[in-house]
């Protein structure tokens, strides 16, 4: 017997799906600045060239990059309450996404920082810039410019990863999908549509990042 | 009843680990074959095939792995074929790996200087021989570090099979934490097992990348 596709269930619930998209974007757009802030802070710490803190950052990166996101989010959401830290699903999702993304962004940004030649920093010193100014204008901004494509595709990946937060009942698109599935029993149609929505969102984000690049990272630098 | 963490529970974790490894291996092997096909289609020069391969890659890279699992899993359900979840999940990971490896290998193939292809053509070497003996061996060398990087991603990705009910390492962890009421400990152990599997691979990939970088910069 051939299966009759029925997308009316999907169309009837377009409001919920749209809301799911917005929630996904909300979660990811909140997690992205967290990611970037942690990564930039780590770069600052790495500039100090202190053994212990460098080792700590390295260990954090290795642990996060070599364990699955699902286990990390379970650890945060189901594990932490047993030591008295109870998190709201959405908050846990943002923290998990932020920390997970940070580990990858640190690696990416570190490559960019290492690509800044020593002479540039010496030139900055010779011009009498303060260390904070050197970090901000001579090291960080060119580094961000260099790694921008890699970093933004990492951010898009973060948005896709947020779908895993549905497993701790964080309210985002995939979770909305699971709820609709329970009401309409049209699992294939619903997940097919949702995959399409993710595709649209990742396309939209990549356009947005290209726009931001044109506005704030183009030469001549302002 | 609360069960404590004993040898029996560790045995379960071990079985779960084996399923994770099996799933990763199957996905990587079949995904490797599929990825080679995708990469060759993407670089073959025929517009229609290249477009098709590009669309295939774009779709799988622009949607979450979890959704890909759902679609293949429920999609197969619609076909009225009874298929064990193990096969369904393997198919999903194979598709995913084909797309990502296809993209990685396309990059490697295209990074081989154009002159090599032209020289081979001038010598009258046929496409199959050109690929097999000239382009692919060089591309393989370049592609090894990112390929190993993806293998690590794939191993971690198999944890998502837990969400659709496939009992591998992560789901074993969930089941155990439900009966022992020690989620913090269990998830730490599960994470540690993944780490023990993935970390050496990550290091291997990085070591290869370092060994390779002077070659590329020449």
In 10 A of CB B46, how many CB atoms?
A: 10
Using CA coordinates, name the residue in chain B closest to A160.
B64
Q: Average per-residue pLDDT in chain B?
A: 91
In the Cβ-directed half-sphere of A109, how many Cα atoms lie within 13 Å? 26
Whether the pLDDT of residue A219 is over 80: the answer is no
B67 → closest Cβ in A69, A71, A195: A195
Residue A51 CA, chain-centre distance (Å), reads 28
pLDDT for B218 = 40
- pLDDT (tens digit per residue) in A166-184: 999 988 999 999 899 888 8
Segment 97-156 of chain A within 8 Å of chain B by CB: none
CA distances from A90 to A10, A106, A221, B187 (A): 25, 24, 38, 20
Can you tell me the ipTM of this complex?
0.89
Q: Which residue has the higher pLDDT, A65 or B5?
A: A65
Contacts of B83 (CB under 8 A, 6+ apart): B76
Residue B215 CA, chain-centre distance (Å), reads 26
Using CA coordinates, name the residue in chain B closest to A161.
B64
Q: Between A173-184 and A187-216, two packed helices, what is the crossing angle to 10 degrees?
A: 160
pLDDT for B134 = 92
Whether the pLDDT of residue A7 is over 90: the answer is no
- The boundaries of the domain holding residue B88 are 7-217
pLDDT for B44 = 87
Task: Give B112's DSSP letter.
Answer: S
Confidence of residue A203 (pLDDT cuts 50, 70, 90): very high
Total domain count for chain B?
1
- pLDDT (tens digit per residue) in A180-193: 988 888 888 899 99
Alpha helices in A116-172 (DSSP H): 118-126, 131-133, 141-161
Percent of chain B with pLDDT over 90: 75
B126: left (phi over 0), alpha (psi -120 to 50) or beta: beta
Look at residues A37, A52, A47, A57 and name the one whose alpha carbon lies nearest to residue A116: A47
- B145 and chain A: CB distance < 8 Å anywhere? no
Q: Average per-residue pLDDT in chain A?
A: 91
Domain CATH number, residue B120: 1.10.3720.10
CB pairs under 8 A between A and B: 117
Look at residues B140, B100, B139, B109 and name the one whose alpha carbon lies nearest to residue B44: B109
Asked if residue B2 is part of any domain, the answer here is no
Cβ of A82 and B183 within 8 Å?
Answer: yes
Q: Are B69 and B94 in contact (CB under 8 A)?
A: no
Cβ of B170 and A71 within 8 Å?
Answer: yes
Residue B85 CA, chain-centre distance (Å), reads 18
3-state secondary structure B20-49: HHHHHHHHHHHHHHHHHHHHHHHCCCCHHH
Q: How far is A98 from chain B (nearest CA, A)?
A: 17
User: How far is residue A30's CA from residue B109's CA, in Å, rounded to a whole number?
Assistant: 38
Whether the pLDDT of residue A123 is over 50: the answer is yes
pLDDT for B214 = 63
Cβ of A72 and B191 within 8 Å?
Answer: yes
In the Cβ-directed half-sphere of A112, how many Cα atoms lie within 13 Å? 24
Cβ of B67 and A174 within 8 Å?
Answer: yes
pLDDT for B160 = 95
> What CATH architecture applies to the domain A14-216?
Orthogonal Bundle (1.10)
pLDDT for A124 = 93
- B77 and chain A: CB distance < 8 Å anywhere? yes
B34 CB burial (10 A radius; 0-12, 13-18, 19+): buried
Interface test with A, best of B5, B62, B71, B203 (most A CBs within 10 A): B62
**Mean pLDDT for each 10-residue chunk of chain B (218 residues)?**
79 94 96 96 91 94 93 85 85 96 95 92 92 93 94 96 91 92 92 96 92 61
Whether the pLDDT of residue A152 is over 60: the answer is yes
In 10 A of CB B198, how many CB atoms?
A: 20
- pLDDT (tens digit per residue) in B145-168: 999 999 999 999 999 999 988 899
Residue B122 CA, chain-centre distance (Å), reads 37
- B100 and chain A: CB distance < 8 Å anywhere? no
pLDDT for A221 = 55
pLDDT for B217 = 46
Q: Are B66 and B160 in contact (CB under 8 A)?
A: yes
In the Cβ-directed half-sphere of B181, how many Cα atoms lie within 13 Å? 4
What are the chain A neighbours of B191 within 8 Å (beta carbons)?
A: 63, 67-68, 71-72, 75
What are the chain B neighbours of A72 within 8 Å (beta carbons)?
A: 191
Percent of chain A with pLDDT over 70: 97
Task: Extract the runs of DSSP E, i.e. beta strands, from A81-141.
Answer: none
Task: Give A164's DSSP letter.
Answer: G
Using CA coordinates, name the residue in chain B closest to A190.
B71
- pLDDT (tens digit per residue) in B107-151: 999 999 999 999 999 999 999 999 999 999 999 999 999 999 999
User: How far is residue A104's CA from residue B202's CA, in Å, rounded to a whole number?
Assistant: 13
pLDDT for B113 = 92
- A161 and chain B: CB distance < 8 Å anywhere? yes
Quickly count helices (H) and strands (E) in chain B: 9, 0
Q: Are B13 and B189 in contact (CB under 8 A)?
A: yes
Radius of gyration for the alpha carbons in chain A, expressed in angstroms and rounded: 21
Whether the pLDDT of residue A1 is over 60: the answer is no
């Amino acid at each position: 017997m051939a299966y009759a596709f029925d997308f009316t269930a999907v169309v009837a619930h377009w409001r919920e799906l749209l809301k799911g998209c917005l929630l996904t974007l909300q979660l990811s757009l909140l997690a992205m600045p967290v990611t970037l802030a942690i990564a930039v802070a780590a770069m600052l710490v790495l500039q100090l060239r202190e053994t212990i803190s460098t080792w700590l950052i390295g260990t954090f990166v290795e642990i996060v990059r070599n364990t699955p996101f699902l286990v990390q989010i379970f650890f945060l959401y189901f594990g932490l309450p047993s030591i008295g830290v109870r998190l709201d699903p959405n908050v846990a999702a943002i923290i998990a996404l932020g920390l997970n993304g940070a580990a990858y962004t640190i690696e990416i940004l570190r490559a960019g920082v290492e690509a800044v030649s020593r002479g540039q920093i010496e030139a900055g010193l010779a011009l009498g810039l303060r260390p904070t100014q050197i970090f901000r204008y001579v090291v960080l901004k060119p580094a961000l410019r260099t790694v921008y494509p890699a970093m933004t595709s990492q951010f898009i990946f973060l948005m896709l990863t947020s779908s895993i937060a549905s497993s701790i009942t964080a309210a985002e698109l995939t979770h909305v999908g699971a709820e609709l599935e329970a009401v309409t029993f049209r699992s294939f149609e619903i997940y097919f549509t949702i995959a399409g929505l993710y595709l649209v969102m990742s396309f939209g984000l990549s356009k947005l990042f290209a726009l931001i690049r044109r506005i704030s990272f183009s030469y001549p630098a302002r | 009843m609360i069960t404590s963490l004993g040898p029996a529970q560790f045995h379960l974790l071990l079985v779960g680990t084996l399923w994770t490894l099996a799933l990763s291996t199957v996905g990587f092997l079949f995904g490797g074959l599929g990825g080679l096909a995708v990469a060759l289609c993407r670089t073959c020069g025929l517009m229609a095939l290249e477009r098709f391969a590009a669309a295939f890659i774009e779709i799988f890279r622009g949607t979450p792995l979890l959704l890909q699992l759902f679609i293949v899993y429920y999609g197969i359900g619609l076909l009225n074929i009874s298929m064990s979840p193990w096969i369904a999940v393997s198919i999903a990971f194979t598709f995913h790996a084909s797309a990502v490896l296809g993209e990685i290998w396309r990059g490697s193939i295209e990074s081989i200087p154009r002159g090599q292809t032209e020289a081979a053509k001038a010598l009258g070497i046929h496409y199959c021989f050109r690929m097999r003996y000239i382009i692919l061996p060089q591309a393989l060398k370049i592609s090894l570090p990112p390929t190993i990087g993806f293998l690590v991603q794939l191993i971690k990705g198999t944890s998502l099979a837990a969400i659709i009910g496939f009992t591998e390492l992560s789901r074993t962890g969930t089941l155990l934490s439900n009966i022992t009421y020690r989620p913090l400990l269990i998830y730490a152990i599960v994470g540690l097992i993944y780490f023990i599997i993935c970390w050496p691979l990550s290091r291997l990939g990085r070591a290869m990348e370092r060994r390779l970088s002077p070659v590329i910069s020449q």
